[in-house]
Amino acid sequence: MCRSVHSHDILPDRRVVLNWADGERNHYHFVWLRQQHFHPAIGRSDQVPDAALRLPDDPASLEVASSAIENGELVVEWAGDGVVTRHDLGWLRRNAYDRLSRLGRKVRQQTWTGSEASTFPWLDWQALLVDDEALFAFEVRLRDYGFARVRGAPAGSGEVARLAERLGALRNTDFGAVATIETRPPSKDGRYTNLGAGGWVRLAPHTDEGWRYAPPGISFHLGLESTPGEGGDSILVDGLLAARRLAARDPEAFDFLTRKPFRFCAERNPRERFVARGRVIVTDQDGEVVGIRFSDRTLGVQDLDETMIEPAYKALGAFARELYSTDLVYRHKLQPGECHVFDNHRILHARTEFDPESGPRRIAQCSVDREEFHNSYRQLSERLGRMDDAHLILPNGALG
């Protein structure tokens, strides 16, 4: 990325334009430049403690007394108070906010079908624990594909946390911070019932805990024990590809699911009264899909306007048909030491049915919030000198 400026101009509409040596042009509003000087979030080296309330300036009141390019910086002297702000050219280029610059920095998420996912490489568990380059490659796969396969882990329930904590602090989910998902025969089910993760019937593809305002982020499923009989396979589906297909085949359904929040809930016992509303397909300011929130088992009693009830279920049905398309299904029976790592805000997971009398199916599970993962990814990118990777715009996921 070019960080050398050929020239710069002050425009009458209160913007500075930088003409880069590679022919690109970027515009920066006065108020945007000015605010960086006072903004504590960006950790300036010259920052000093300041208890003053820092509200944005009135854009129309700002005037530039002089400006220059000096030692790789845009130097601006502001009229009125004489404050001088300095803005690193590389930082300005990486943070340009015109549409083309923003789109150029956005992660290009790669969609996949089931057969394609079956060819994804198996990454080495031990290498991810000690090698930052290997960890970076793993995080890039999660960033771009929302899914990575890892093998070679010790088959112990506590082991899954060792890799997860490389991405950030563990998230406390419905199962706890680290849990063993285990099925038992009906005669020994105890507190388990044939419902959800603790059961043995077929589960349809779903995202976890959509009834939370912010669902869990990066999920880890580590195989501990695989039932010797048929069935019990793990299934994953790329919700991003399903959403893109829906947009092409049924724009009306896609539009409904991106605009109207649905009610999700967990009210299975007296200790649960969780209710959250969220869009099934979440898009960003550019209309690109950034998150999925969907589960046939936790869709609550809907309270949309009465004119929207039938359109809502029609749209849900159209999306479900895309999600359950045969070619989207990745299927693999996790063996001890194998781990699926996936973005719960994009990838839906499921399970095929099996006979619990044939033997147990045990999986160690934990999660890391997506913002923890993104923070880890940015820090690792900086440590490895990959500054352009560090400044990529990452999707917020299924929030809203």
pLDDT tens for each residue of 6-40:
889 999 999 999 999 999 999 999 999 988 776 65
Q: What is the mean pLDDT of residues 200-207?
A: 83
Given a contact cutoff of 8 angstroms between Cβ atoms, the answer to whether 101 and 26 are in contact is yes
Q: Which residues pair with 390 in a beta bridge?
A: none
Our separate counts of H helices and E strands in the chain read 12, 21
Q: What is the pLDDT of residues 163-198, one digit of tens each?
A: 999 999 999 888 789 988 877 655 554 434 545 566
Per-residue b or e along 1-30, where b marks 16 or more CB atoms closer than 10 Å to that residue's CB:
eeeebeebeeeeebbbebebeeebebbbbb
Angle 132-145/370-383 helices, nearest 10 degrees? 130
Q: What is the pLDDT of residues 303-357, one digit of tens each?
A: 999 999 999 999 999 999 999 999 999 999 999 999 999 999 999 999 988 777 7
pLDDT of amino acid 36: 77
Q: What is the mean pLDDT of residues 242-252?
A: 98
Gap between the Cα atoms of 284 and 99, Å rounded: 13
Neighbours of 258 (CB within 10 A): 18
Summary mean pLDDT of the chain:
90
| SS3 at position 200 | coil
What does DSSP assign to residue 392?
A: P
pLDDT of amino acid 186: 54
Strands 122-124 and 147-151: parallel
DSSP labels, 51-100: -S--PPP-GGG--EEEEEEETTEEEEEETTT--EEEEEHHHHHHT--SHH
Torsion, Cα of 267, 270, 272, 277 (10° steps): 40
Report which of 68, 84, 72 is spatially closest to residue 7, judged by C-alpha positions: 68
